[in-house]
Amino acid sequence: MTFSARALIIFVLLEMIEIKEKIAREAYQAGKEEGVRIGIEMGLAHTIEVLSAELHRYKFPEGHEKRWNYKIDQHRPEDNSMFEFKYQRYEDVVKEREANERRARKNRWRQG
């Protein structure tokens, strides 16, 4: 083998090594980015599960014990009535409340 043939083979081998290193670096970076994405997705899934459970405990407190180290429990209602569903519109609720207030004023005026 002549010198130029050896040099050519060495040059090709060095190029192949550089290409392999470049591919390895790119694969590492892609894997790192994918790992970060998967970690974020797993964290979000866990957070959603925890918040869903806490929301259920908050909306339906009956049957759940109070925990001593959770600050959100101090704001939790005592019974399930806070989130009852009604078919009344807000406007109807306000009108009913105002009518009750007028009735109460009228009754106080008659008694006084």
Under the banding of pLDDT at 50, 70 and 90, the label for residue 19 is confident
Q: What is the pLDDT of residue 82?
A: 66
Distances (CA, A) of 68 to 58, 74, 108: 15, 9, 45
Output the 3-class SS for 52-108: HHHHHHHHCCCCCCCCCCCHHHHHCCCCHHHHCCCCCCHHHHHHHHHHHHHHHHHHH
Q: Kindly report, residue by residue over 43-97, the tens digit of the pLDDT.
A: 999 999 988 888 887 777 777 777 777 777 777 777 666 666 778 887 888 899 8
Q: What is the pLDDT of residue 45?
A: 92
Q: What is the pLDDT of residue 37?
A: 87
Residue 79's closest CA among 90, 63, 55? Answer: 63
The total number of structural domains in the chain stands at: 1
